[in-house]
A and B are shown apart, each in its own frame.
Chain A
Amino acid sequence: MPPFPFVPRGGPDARHHGRCGASICQNPIRLPALAPPPLGAARRTTAREARALTTLPPSAPTLTPDQLEPLGRLAGSLDRDQAIWLSGYFAGLAGTGTASPATVGTPADGAATNGATADGALVAPPAPAGPAARQLTVLFGTDTGNAKELAGELQTAAKGVGIEATVADLSSYKPRALKDEQDVLVVMATHGEGDPPPNAVGFFEFLAGRKAPKLDGVRFSVLALGDSTYEHYCSAGRIVDERFAELGAERIADRVDCDVDYEDDAAAWIADVVGRLTPEAASATPAGAAAPSAGATATASSTAHSKKHPFAAPVLENVALTGRGSTKETRHVELSLEDSGLTFEPGDALGVVPENDPALVDTLLERLSLSPDTEVTTKQGPAPLREALTRTFEITAATPRFLEQWAELSGSSELQALKDGDAKARTAFFYEHHVLDFVDRFPVAGIEAGQFVKGLRPLQPRLYSIASSLAAAPDEAHLTVSTVQYDLHESGRTGVASGHLARLLHEDATVPVYVQSNEHFRLPAEDDVPIIMVGAGTGVAPYRAFMQEREARGAQGRSWLVFGERNFRTDFLYQVEWQQLLKDGTLTKLDPVFSRDSVPGAASAPKTYVQHRLREKGAEVWDWLQDGARIYVCGDANAMAPDVHTALAEIAVEHGGLDREAAHEHLNELQRDHRYLLDVY
């Protein structure tokens, strides 16, 4: 039986969870995301950087001062979407070799007029005659939706220069079609410990296997999303990049690896690749057909709440779900979305913009002997240091950039060696050393506030699967949040977002949120389709939303929840709700599995997890699947999801009479058919 594709074994330990919580939310969806440009990455001009320039970078040597001056002013006034659009625009100009743009449409808002010609009309790419257009396909592998969003932006940018791109979700893309592609741009998130995101698992298998075709004549580029605090940073994107080249495809542009603050780097890559595609592609697009939508997007985002404009949601309820004596704390947080205009579907996630623990901020200020009032520069402008450390910067997990900077400031040879050493050692070191531990162990005398924050990456929102349905709780979003707490170097550490949420107990508490849609984890549209829901810990959250939704809809389809936690008494999350749902028939079957329960006096039994229960009830699982059931898996990506995958494959062998190969293929097929859905982190 082939193992769960691309998932290294070994499983997480408590430390890992702690570590994970420090940098990223533990639930539900791991963030690919942001940060400084990776070390050694080529400097790329971004819209935001351009804004700060009075002169354009030396990489624009062919412009005259007369050209440079207005361009510099223009660049300084652009927002990101405009910059992306304009990149396409200029690329379009380059493609036709003419400087007389056609006129299309009317700008949607004032900002967009920055790109307008003197007569007030917005310029659009020209439509020259030329050779037959190459076909552009944008593939994305996403978990949290960022890669999907970027794929959309890429499509828009391409459209801006007259290239109609096909955007495909890798879960539904037929990989055999690869060999017939011409230009392929891949936006690829990395998941867990260097794994592909769930929607791309089948694609990766195909690529790695012997069936992978020669890709001669195919051009490509990869945008990789990741989190630099992980050892296998951006490795899914790297694998695709290397494999495409191995198969004979030609790189249009070098791969760009983005950290959790990916926006600027991603925008630059988009501008770059679109520019490179244009000379041949633009000719196919009729003039005026490609009305830019960037301006419209900008308008929408300024009125609606989004990641950039989160909604300050009042906290309605915030209680521990775990009973006293539990080995962990999991909280139930109810947020009001009233008047926010935010809506979501069961399966979606809520982005939560956290603040750092004020105690940690104080500790850092004290250890660094810095005044809380010192003004520092942030992307949002100048701010007092305490404010910046509270709201703007990530101050728990250290990053390679921080290591690099701190090595220099402290002059520590240990840090120098780490900086130049291998990634594995660095990751191990980051496990043991947060920003605070760098400060403690490698003191830098007289450091200035500006110096300190320069090494920090922006504080990122965290995503949590929404645990409620609007049908059951209108204008509310419920979250199931495991409070990450652990000790490191004899001091207590808390997860950034989970800790923040756990502190939101005062009456007027609010927290900035936005909705992150998750197309890959939806209830079947047909209410009579049976569903099997497998979840461990906070992975049960979306199933609460599913059940609320199905109850409200009066859905007749059978449902089966397999839920895993540590102890029955204290950790049976939403126990009385499941009992009630069972009683009224909304939930057909419930199999709770507790790994740490034991009968006193009895011999200790091996720990049981959800995959064991699935195997025990394999015949039934197989029957349900034969009846068309969808199976959902939500929770831990490192151990649970692969173990469940293995169990399902074994069930296909034992009860479906398939051989190992066929069983595996069967599961891939289920995934492609959206009948085997993952939301793991």
Chain B
Amino acid sequence: MATTNPNTTTVEIDRSRDLSQPLEKLAPEERMKFESDYLAGSITTDLIDEITLAVDENNNKLMKFHGIYQQDDRDIRDERRQQKLEPFFTFMLRGRLPGGVCTPEQWLKMDELGRTYGNEQFRLTTRQTFQFHYLNRNALRQVMLGLRDVGLDGKAACGDVARTVMSGVHPGLSKLHKQVFEQAQRTSDHVIHKTSAYEEIWFGEKPAEPRGASEEPFYGKQYMPRKFKIGFAVPPSNDIDIYSQDLGFVAVASRGKLKGFNVVIGGGMGRADRAPETYPRLGDVIGYVDVDQLEPVLDAVMGVQRDFGDRVTRAHARFKYTIDDKGLDVIKAEIERRLGFALAPAKKFTFDSNGDQLGWTTGDDGLEHCTVFIESGRIINKGDRRLLDGLKAVAETGTCVFRLTPNQSVILSDIAPADRPQVEALLAEHGIDSEPKKGLSALRLNSMACVAMPTCGLAMAEAERYLPVLITKIEGLLETHGLMDDPITIRMTGCPNGCARPYIAEIALTGRAPGKYNLYLGAGFHGERLNKMVRENVGEDVILEVLDETLGAYAKDRNAGERFGDFVVRAGFVAEVKEGRHFND
């Protein structure tokens, strides 16, 4: 990535809270990064500390840059405190998997690592990658080595860097998907941080010389102010929720050939409860660029955020706030200044959904693709539904490529028609439905939940463990109102941070306390409009009561083809949120 010099800017921009300020004036994390020797910290020492299976606070933060979160089993936190034992610390390790595309060999390695170190399971994430939970600190190096064996790593899964890059998976448009995926991969390799600390810590490879400025030509010692998310959408599917990305590229093709991208900036989900200065924001389309200008655009957009992003208040450090603080025009002008040219006007595009097309599809390349619904992304053997074993068996045939979807499902893709029966048979043998099972509501198939309890340290309420239970109850209402087959998006997170992108779901619940959630309604079906909170901090009874009323009205009064999110806005159940900064109004 090329270096840019922010000091030559011609636009008058307030620099009082950014990288130009001395460390003393910035958030402590800035010093921590600065002094970390390019993310090395003392992680190596902590990994062999015999007194604890945790790492210290700084190293915990630094390890996020390497894809690792320290967690503990919250179900037994209290019990262990009484036992005078430290919390049951484990680690979550998230891989980098641009575009969610995974070879059978890589899938088998994930399977092996999950079985061996991750409590016989692994999880597909809302950013199309995989993560292992329940890792013992002593197993982290083994997992890292395992990933390396198949060309994967844990870089940038977390931390103040550009995260794993998403790419729409549209199985029906296979030819275009391939071209876009390549750009996503190229992007990921371009924006990834380069520090040799990764190889030193995880593989014991001593760098030839002390780390210096050449270590991170783009990021420098302080990296980004916060995480930075990049994604590529392939219309008409908005499966990656382009408006939730810090930087989004909407593929523009002509006769099946990728030409360029509409550029979307400033999306982001995270907010905090009772902190109205924080809010989700949808990205703005700022123009169009050709494919060959992808890298300069990455450098320019990320460079603006790197240089101007707020490094004093971390809750205000995402790109969305930089844009709202400085003004979209100012930011766009600065991007264009750095690019040295003006962006072309955006091309027209339309989205129809942000969900997955489940079941078998034949691509425009004549190959077969099967999208398997995986509740909450959890790859595990559970009762008769042996996802772990079944997908392993499919991978072993070597007949397909795996594509992880942004809705935590998996597409068994690029299957030659002749191989389809074999794959179908293996799925059936392991209790995995290749077509959506009858009796499952379309709402369930458009559901998403974050991990939350018991492993996530941020969760205030259940999500993954509870949403399926709640949906069963909602299905009772859907039956009553005859809505079982109407796709409605529903998402649940254990905290307001938004890992499952709740603020662009037609129905959303974010955790406040055990059993208590904020309820939001009214987002656009394909992620084009934010929802709005209709009830704060309420339990299941109230949730079901509100849904009963609104779903009942929807069934009765909707226009032809009208989506639930659109209906509740039109019918006046919620006010329309036109801009993120008005989300809390």
Knowing A319-B83, A582-B51, A591-B50 touch, does A601 contact B117 (C-beta < 8 A)? yes
What chain A residues lie within 8 Å of B50 (beta carbons)?
A: 590-592
Judge whether B138 and A599 touch: CB under 8 Å. yes
Q: How far is the CA of A572 from the CA of B89 in the complex (A)?
A: 14
Judge whether B117 and A321 touch: CB under 8 Å. no
Q: How far is the CA of A573 from the CA of B79 in the complex (A)?
A: 14
Q: 1/0 contact trace for A578-603 toward B, CB 8 Å?
A: 11001000000011100000011110
Judge whether A572 and B85 touch: CB under 8 Å. yes
Asked whether any CB of chain B lies closer than 8 Å to the CB of A576, the reply is yes
Judge whether A324 and B76 touch: CB under 8 Å. yes
Residue of A with least CB distance to B53 = A568
What chain A residues lie within 8 Å of B85 (beta carbons)?
A: 321, 323, 569-570, 572, 575-576
Judge whether A599 and B136 touch: CB under 8 Å. yes
A569 interface neighbour in B51, B81, B82, B88, Cβ under 8 Å? B88
What chain B residues lie within 8 Å of A591 (beta carbons)?
A: 50
What chain A residues lie within 8 Å of B76 (beta carbons)?
A: 323-324
Asked whether any CB of chain B lies closer than 8 Å to the CB of A574, the reply is yes
Judge whether A323 and B139 touch: CB under 8 Å. no
Knowing A323-B88, A324-B76, A600-B116 touch, does A569 contact B83 (C-beta < 8 A)? no
Q: 1/0 contact trace for B75-103 toward A, CB 8 Å?
A: 01001111111101000000000000000
What chain A residues lie within 8 Å of B53 (beta carbons)?
A: 568-569
Judge whether B51 and A579 touch: CB under 8 Å. yes
Residue of B with least CB distance to A582 = B51
Asked whether any CB of chain B lies closer than 8 Å to the CB of A577, the reply is yes
Asked whether any CB of chain A lies closer than 8 Å to the CB of B52, the reply is yes
Judge whether A579 and B86 touch: CB under 8 Å. yes
Q: How far is the CA of A463 from the CA of B117 in the complex (A)?
A: 42
Asked whether any CB of chain A lies closer than 8 Å to the CB of B322, the reply is no
Q: How far is the CA of A319 from the CA of B86 in the complex (A)?
A: 15
Judge whether A332 and B84 touch: CB under 8 Å. yes
What chain B residues lie within 8 Å of A324 (beta carbons)?
A: 76, 79
Asked whether any CB of chain A lies closer than 8 Å to the CB of B142, the reply is yes
Knowing A320-B83, A321-B83, A572-B85 touch, does A599 contact B51 (C-beta < 8 A)? no
Quote the shortest CB–CB distance from A575 to chain B (angstroms).
Answer: 5
Judge whether B88 and A319 touch: CB under 8 Å. no
Asked whether any CB of chain B lies closer than 8 Å to the CB of A322, the reply is yes
Which residues of B from 125 to 157 have beta carbons under 8 Å from A?
136, 138-139, 142
Which residues of A from 640 to 663 have beta carbons under 8 Å from B?
none
Judge whether A592 and B51 touch: CB under 8 Å. yes
Q: How far is the CA of A602 from the CA of B81 in the complex (A)?
A: 30
Judge whether A323 and B51 touch: CB under 8 Å. no
Chain A interface size, under 10 / 10 to 19 / 20 to 34 / 35 or more: 20 to 34
Judge whether B139 and A590 touch: CB under 8 Å. no
Knowing A323-B80, A592-B50 touch, does A602 contact B86 (C-beta < 8 A)? no
Quote the shortest CB–CB distance from B292 to chain A (angstroms).
Answer: 45
Residue of A with least CB distance to B142 = A601
What chain B residues lie within 8 Å of A332 (beta carbons)?
A: 84
Quote the shortest CB–CB distance from B564 to chain A (angstroms).
Answer: 44
Residue of A with least CB distance to B118 = A600
What chain A residues lie within 8 Å of B88 (beta carbons)?
A: 323, 569
Judge whether A578 and B83 touch: CB under 8 Å. no
Quote the shortest CB–CB distance from B309 to chain A (angstroms).
Answer: 36
What chain B residues lie within 8 Å of A592 (beta carbons)?
A: 50-51
Which residues of A from 289 to 342 have beta carbons under 8 Å from B?
319-324, 332
Judge whether B84 and A600 touch: CB under 8 Å. no
Quote the shortest CB–CB distance from B464 to chain A (angstroms).
Answer: 22
Interface residues of B, CB < 8 Å — how many? 20
Quote the shortest CB–CB distance from A584 to chain B (angstroms).
Answer: 14
B84 interface neighbour in A568, A576, A601, A602, Cβ under 8 Å? A576
Judge whether B116 and A601 touch: CB under 8 Å. yes
Judge whether A579 and B82 touch: CB under 8 Å. no
Which residues of A from 549 to 584 have beta carbons under 8 Å from B?
568-570, 572-579, 582
Judge whether A323 and B83 touch: CB under 8 Å. yes
Quote the shortest CB–CB distance from A614 to chain B (angstroms).
Answer: 15
Q: 1/0 contact trace for A590-624 toward B, CB 8 Å?
A: 11100000011110000000000000000000000
Quote the shortest CB–CB distance from A82 to chain B (angstroms).
Answer: 48
Quote the shortest CB–CB distance from A298 to chain B (angstroms).
Answer: 42
Judge whether B139 and A322 touch: CB under 8 Å. no
Residue of B with least CB distance to A544 = B84
What chain A residues lie within 8 Å of B142 (beta carbons)?
A: 599, 601-602
Judge whether B52 and A579 touch: CB under 8 Å. yes
Judge whether A600 and B82 touch: CB under 8 Å. no
Q: How far is the CA of A600 from the CA of B83 in the complex (A)?
A: 25
Residue of A with least CB distance to B90 = A569
Which residues of B from 60 to 88 have beta carbons under 8 Å from A?
76, 79-86, 88
Which residues of A from 21 to 79 have beta carbons under 8 Å from B?
none
What chain B residues lie within 8 Å of A569 (beta carbons)?
A: 53, 85, 88
Judge whether B79 and A575 touch: CB under 8 Å. no
Q: How far is the CA of A569 from the CA of B84 in the complex (A)?
A: 12
B83 interface neighbour in A322, A590, A599, A602, Cβ under 8 Å? A322
Judge whether A575 and B117 touch: CB under 8 Å. no
A321 interface neighbour in B84, B136, B139, Cβ under 8 Å? B84
Q: How far is the CA of A576 from the CA of B72 in the complex (A)?
A: 15
Q: How far is the CA of A617 from the CA of B62 in the complex (A)?
A: 31
What chain B residues lie within 8 Å of A321 (beta carbons)?
A: 83-85
Quote the shortest CB–CB distance from A168 to chain B (angstroms).
Answer: 41
Knowing A572-B85, A576-B85 touch, does A600 contact B80 (C-beta < 8 A)? no
What chain A residues lie within 8 Å of B83 (beta carbons)?
A: 319-323
Quote the shortest CB–CB distance from A92 to chain B (angstroms).
Answer: 57
What chain A residues lie within 8 Å of B138 (beta carbons)?
A: 599
What chain A residues lie within 8 Å of B80 (beta carbons)?
A: 323
Residue of B with least CB distance to A599 = B138
Residue of A with least CB distance to B113 = A601
Quote the shortest CB–CB distance from A486 to chain B (angstroms).
Answer: 22
Which residues of A from 140 to 199 have beta carbons under 8 Å from B?
none
What chain B residues lie within 8 Å of A578 (beta carbons)?
A: 51
Q: How far is the CA of A575 from the CA of B138 in the complex (A)?
A: 18
Q: How far is the CA of A592 from the CA of B51 in the complex (A)?
A: 7
Q: How far is the CA of A4 from the CA of B72 in the complex (A)?
A: 44
Q: How far is the CA of A618 from the CA of B262 in the complex (A)?
A: 67
Quote the shortest CB–CB distance from A480 to chain B (angstroms).
Answer: 11
Knowing A323-B80, A323-B85, A577-B84 touch, does A590 contact B116 (C-beta < 8 A)? no
B139 interface neighbour in A319, A579, A600, Cβ under 8 Å? A600
Residue of B with least CB distance to A602 = B142
Quote the shortest CB–CB distance from A649 to chain B (angstroms).
Answer: 25
Q: How far is the CA of A570 from the CA of B84 in the complex (A)?
A: 10
Q: How far is the CA of A577 from the CA of B138 in the complex (A)?
A: 23
What chain A residues lie within 8 Å of B84 (beta carbons)?
A: 321, 332, 573-577
Q: How far is the CA of A320 from the CA of B79 in the complex (A)?
A: 10
Quote the shortest CB–CB distance from A138 to chain B (angstroms).
Answer: 43
Q: How far is the CA of A324 from the CA of B73 in the complex (A)?
A: 12
Residue of A with least CB distance to B80 = A323
Which residues of B from 28 to 55 have beta carbons under 8 Å from A?
50-53
Q: How far is the CA of A591 from the CA of B138 in the complex (A)?
A: 17
Q: How far is the CA of A574 from the CA of B83 in the complex (A)?
A: 8
Q: How far is the CA of A591 from the CA of B50 in the complex (A)?
A: 7
What chain A residues lie within 8 Å of B116 (beta carbons)?
A: 600-601
What chain B residues lie within 8 Å of A600 (beta carbons)?
A: 116-117, 136, 139
What chain B residues lie within 8 Å of A572 (beta carbons)?
A: 85-86
Among A324, A332, A573, residue most surrounded by chain B Cβ atoms (within 10 Å): A324
Judge whether A599 and B139 touch: CB under 8 Å. yes
What chain B residues lie within 8 Å of A322 (beta carbons)?
A: 83
Q: Which 9 A-B pairs have the closest CB atoms?
A: A601-B116, A599-B138, A575-B85, A574-B84, A600-B116, A323-B85, A576-B84, A319-B82, A321-B83
5 additional contacts (CB under 8 A) given A319-B83, A575-B85, A590-B51: A323-B76, A569-B85, A575-B84, A575-B86, A576-B81
* Contact sample, A vs B, 20 pairs, CB 8 Å cutoff: A320-B83, A323-B83, A323-B85, A323-B88, A569-B88, A572-B86, A575-B84, A575-B86, A576-B85, A577-B84, A579-B52, A582-B51, A590-B50, A592-B51, A599-B138, A599-B139, A599-B142, A600-B139, A601-B116, A602-B142
